[in-house]
Amino acid sequence: MKSVALLIAAVFVLAVLPSCFAADAAADRRAAEFFETRVRPVLAESCVSCHGPDKQRGGLRLDSRAALLKGADSGPVIVAGEPDKSALVRVVRYDKKIKMPPKTRLAPPAVEALTAWVRMGAPWPDGAAVAAQRPSPDEARQRHWSFQPVKNPAIPPVKNPVWVRNPIDAFILAKLEEKNLAPSKPADRRTLIRRVSFDLIGLPPTPEEVEAFVADPSPDAYAKLVDRLLASPQYGERWARHWLDVARYSDTKGYVFIEERVYPYSYTYRDYVIRAFNEDLPYDQFILQQLAADRLPLGDDKRSLAALGYLTLGRRFLNQTPDIIDDRIDVTMRGLQGLTVACARCHDHKFDPIPTRDYYSLYGIFASSTEPKELPIIGPSDQPAAAAAFAAELTKRQGAVAAFAEAHKAELAARNVDFRQQLTKLDNQVVKWNAEAPGRPQRAMALEDAPQPVVAHVFLRGNQHNLGPETPRQFPEVLAGAKRQPFTQGSGRLELASAIANKDNPLTARVMVNRLWQHHFGEGIVRTPSDFGARGEPPTHPELLDWLASTFVKEGWSVKKMQRLILLSQTYQQESGEDAAHKTADPENRLLSHQNRRKLEFEPLRDALLLVSGRIDSRMGGKGDDITMGHEPFAHRRSIYGFIDRQNLPGVFRTFDFASPDATVGQRHTTATPPQALFLMNAPFVVEQARALAARPDVAGLATEAARIDRLYRLAYGRPAEPEEIALGARFIKEVASEKATPNRLSPWEQYAQVLLLGNEFAFVD
């Protein structure tokens, strides 16, 4: 029966399609134009790579009329004139169990084009085969949204202007009203202060801060709260950690040969990023410093040289230069431009207008840069008394290595491998001592221009031993235009940085404001924050994205001003609950009819445990500590000061979805798993915090059981305990107290404190 049905359907398609193509000449021209301008680009960019001459997944090809009519292994994919009955249309609408494309949903205009095309009878000009080809740079600038200039769109009118507090709300509400949806009511003040505190400083508010905010009758109470948090030194610690994900920050090099595997001054980059966020360094300057601080007039203050750690702190790939440079291209272009340029290393990019020659134009820039043997000093020792002794000892040790090399000139000249390895080990010992000894000055993991710039060749198929044509050092054509000029100033890093930080670059501001939005809502306006190319998701609110980007630039690239704008919007301040209408009409909350409930990442979760226990060490800066939480004595500093070993990333980091330091990460994958719960139940670190929480004087010193329970709730959850929670807590204490005591067992109050720390209310933000 199924075969008969498929046969009938196939005959139906074959019978109907020819009649569609038999229209008059004008209709044929209109149909051909529609196919060429609206349908072919969709098939070429999103379908033919998996359903074309090279691959035929499911037995389906979509690169020619004959292949379309043949259908898939399961049968015909279109019923001409009836899109609702056509499998092709249903899968791109995500109406069926099978959804295409599987990873990235087509933009609504693309779905509408395919639907209209099938409704027209699926006209296909004779001989118009579709190749899986990327658009030219010029075509991409005209066609793909992210390569077009940033506009300053008009603020849309809305039916309910009373709800609008700033332009962000107008853009959000206009989309909601199109779907006949209303925004959610505002979150209560206790929820709001907890949300904004975690968002801005990565820590929960104290009970006293909560009560002060709740009791503040002034209309600008929330604005004052936001301003206080933005001015807090802890703000930089929270937001630097977000950036360190993008920068693939680590304190180690990964696989190396016999050299020292630890970066001696990686922490100076981390401290630079914290300072940059706290001082609200304009984002365009932030870019310039991270790519080319050594080429900027810094004056006497050399601390900004530490910014070059953005490039130098990647994996070392057994010191394979092409891989190191590839990593630097990737962190620059994905991190700052949202483009997967590294995909063009071996061949032209499959989807984006990035030819291999553009990849090697960037390769030449980084091949023309080198790391100085003696890292530049960027600040005095934080132990002045030991500084003089350190300088004398360093001179002595360096002299000993030089004397050893001089005494063994013959072995060195003979390229004796064993001797060279021995000399390298001695050098490594000096480097390690130099980075760890008391009195050491601070240095930057810097980069500088090579004496002679490199003109790179294309590596044919990515093989460095198979050289193709030369490529000048320059910016990718899709961003610079056909009239671009080669870079001529040294390596070209400063020119590259200037091209990225240019206010007319269509990607830079869009990518950054999207990252800011993502960390305040859980998802970006573009849900692929490091891929703004053809395979990335289109923006849910394109006009809002452009308005934010243009405002960001007009306001001097101020990150804090942009965040303040977002946080003061009604959109941000909505409660996180959703009703049935929202769930049905917008199940993924793409329209932002409510705030998203979010799970704390590893760092704020650990930091919150330390804060509520009273054990947190607020010292800022300096070398990293072991924060793996597996053995005593435990480090009590904030998690951003943890030592990150990319080669041996601790299991607890992986368990709690820590960003891989092997490559730039734009968004962490958040999970809630049994291993996480088991860790929190059994980890000695968590037990220590539970004990400390129960022993706090403002808990243990209270006279009544009810008061102690209420105080624990206020510390852990930022709210008073409900009467039934107090009763349940008292019963828990009584039952545990009646059980037989055993060695090392937690007391009833310690157990109760741990129960509260394990609750979802502690680990999630509404």
Does residue 406 share a domain with residue 326?
Answer: no
**Residue 682, domain extent:** 602-655+672-765
Q: What is the pLDDT of residues 695-714, one digit of tens each?
A: 999 999 999 999 999 999 99
Q: Is 243 inside any structural domain?
A: yes
Backbone dihedral region for residue 158 (phi beyond 0: left; psi -120 to 50: alpha; all else: beta):
beta
Q: Is 365 inside any structural domain?
A: yes
Pairing of strands 598-599, 764-765: antiparallel
Does residue 727 share a domain with residue 754?
Answer: yes
- Could you give the count of Cα atoms lying within 13 Å of 111 in the half-sphere of its Cβ? 18
* Count of domains observed in the chain: 5
Q: What is the pLDDT of residues 323-379, one digit of tens each?
A: 999 999 999 999 999 999 999 999 899 889 999 999 999 999 999 999 999 999 998
With both helix axes pointing from N to C terminus, report the angle between 207-215 and 705-717 in degrees, rounded to the nearest 10.
Answer: 80
Query: Whole-angstrom Cα distance, residue 758 to residue 658?
Result: 19
Query: Whole-angstrom Cα distance, residue 249 to residue 318?
Result: 18
Query: Whole-angstrom Cα distance, residue 215 to residue 190?
Result: 11
Dihedral angle sign, alpha carbons of residues 749, 754, 759, 761: positive
Structure tokens at 281: 């360094």
Which H helix or E strand runs over 457?
strand 456-459
| pLDDT at residue 281, rounded to an integer | 99
For residues 35-61, give the mean pLDDT.
79
What is the three-class DSSP state of 731?
A: helix
98-104 long-range Cβ contacts below 8 angstroms, 24+ apart: 100/47, 101/46, 101/47, 101/50, 103/535, 104/528, 104/535, 104/536, 104/537
Q: Beta-carbon neighbour count of residue 675 at 10 Å? A: 13
Query: Whole-angstrom Cα distance, residue 57 to residue 120?
Result: 26
| Domain end (from 133, 159, 178) | 133
Kindly state the DSSP code that residue 3 receives in the 8-state scheme.
Answer: H
Query: Whole-angstrom Cα distance, residue 372 to residue 297?
Result: 18
Does residue 353 share a domain with residue 496?
Answer: yes
Q: Is 708 inside any structural domain?
A: yes
Does residue 732 share a domain with residue 631?
Answer: yes
| pLDDT at residue 290, rounded to an integer | 99
Structure tokens at 396: 């002595």
Say yes or no to pLDDT of 427 above 80: no
With both helix axes pointing from N to C terminus, report the angle between 283-292 and 508-521 in degrees, rounded to the nearest 10.
Answer: 110
Q: Is 438 inside any structural domain?
A: no
Does residue 474 share a domain with residue 343?
Answer: yes
Contact yes or no for 504/148 (Cβ under 8 A): no
Burial annotation 548-574 (CB, 10 A radius, 16+ → b, else e): bbbbbbeeebbbbbbbbbbbbbbbbbb
Q: How many residues does the chain have?
A: 766
Q: Is 68 inside any structural domain?
A: yes
Cα 633 vs. chain centroid, distance in angstroms?
32
Contact yes or no for 308/445 (Cβ under 8 A): yes
| Domain end (from 201, 216, 231) | 231
- Can you spell out the DSSP letters for 388-433? HHHHHHHHHHHHHHHHHHHHTHHHHHTT-HHHHHHHHHHHHHHHHH
Identify the CATH number of the domain in which residue 651 sits: 1.10.3130
Does residue 397 share a domain with residue 358?
Answer: no
| pLDDT at residue 417, rounded to an integer | 57
Phi then psi for 322, rounded to 5 degrees? Answer: -60, -35
Query: Whole-angstrom Cα distance, residue 645 to residue 291?
Result: 24
Contact yes or no for 6/75 (Cβ under 8 A): yes
Comparison of pLDDT for 10 and 705, the residue scoring more: 705
Kindly state the DSSP code that residue 537 receives in the 8-state scheme.
Answer: P
Comparison of pLDDT for 34 and 355, the residue scoring more: 355
Say yes or no to pLDDT of 17 above 60: no
Token pair 């000449």 in the structure block, residue? 25
Lowest-confidence pick of 214-223, 412-421, 564-573? 412-421
What is the three-class DSSP state of 469?
A: strand
Q: Is 693 inside any structural domain?
A: yes
Phi then psi for 184, rounded to 5 degrees? Answer: -80, 165
Query: Whole-angstrom Cα distance, residue 365 to residue 360?
Result: 9
Structure tokens at 642: 């943890």
Please give the C-alpha separations between residue 97 and each of 84, 93, 237, 584, in angstroms, as whole numbers: 15, 11, 44, 18
Comparison of pLDDT for 432 and 260, the residue scoring more: 260
Query: Whole-angstrom Cα distance, residue 132 to residue 41?
Result: 9
Token pair 């741990």 in the structure block, residue? 754
What average pLDDT does the chain have? 89
SS (H, E, C) 176-188: HHHCCCCCCCECC
| pLDDT at residue 3, rounded to an integer | 38
Say yes or no to pLDDT of 12 above 70: no
Closest CA to 237 of 595, 558, 514, 617: 617
Q: Is 91 inside any structural domain?
A: yes
Say yes or no to pLDDT of 276 above 80: yes
Does residue 261 share a domain with residue 211?
Answer: no
Say yes or no to pLDDT of 761 above 90: yes
Q: What is the pLDDT of residues 164-175, one digit of tens each?
A: 999 999 999 999
| Domain end (from 500, 516, 538) | 500
Which H helix or E strand runs over 765?
strand 764-765
Q: What is the pLDDT of residues 735-751, one digit of tens each?
A: 999 888 787 889 999 99
Identity of the amino acid at 308: L
Structure tokens at 8: 């009938």
Phi then psi for 87, rounded to 5 degrees? Answer: -60, -35
Q: Is 475 inside any structural domain?
A: yes
Which H helix or E strand runs over 456?
strand 456-459
Q: Beta-carbon neighbour count of residue 300 at 10 Å? A: 4
Report the percentage of the chain scoring pLDDT > 70: 87
Does residue 65 share a domain with residue 94?
Answer: yes
For the whole model, what pTM was predicted? 0.81
Does residue 405 share a domain with residue 308?
Answer: no
Does residue 756 share a domain with residue 705?
Answer: yes
Does residue 398 share a domain with residue 369?
Answer: no
| pLDDT at residue 187, rounded to an integer | 98
- According to the per-residue pLDDT averaged within each range, which of 236-245, 249-258, 456-465 is highest? 236-245
First to last CA, the chain: 53
| pLDDT at residue 419, rounded to an integer | 64
Cis peptide before 633 (omega within 30 of 0): yes
Does residue 325 share a domain with residue 355?
Answer: yes
- The answer for residues whose C-beta is within 8 angstroms of residue 388's C-beta and 6 or more apart is 439
For the chain, what is the largest distance between any 2 Cα atoms, rounded to a whole number of angstroms? 93
Burial annotation 71-108 (CB, 10 A radius, 16+ → b, else e): bbeebbbbbbbebeebbbbbbbbeeeeeebeeeebbbe
Query: Whole-angstrom Cα distance, residue 294 to residue 511?
Result: 25
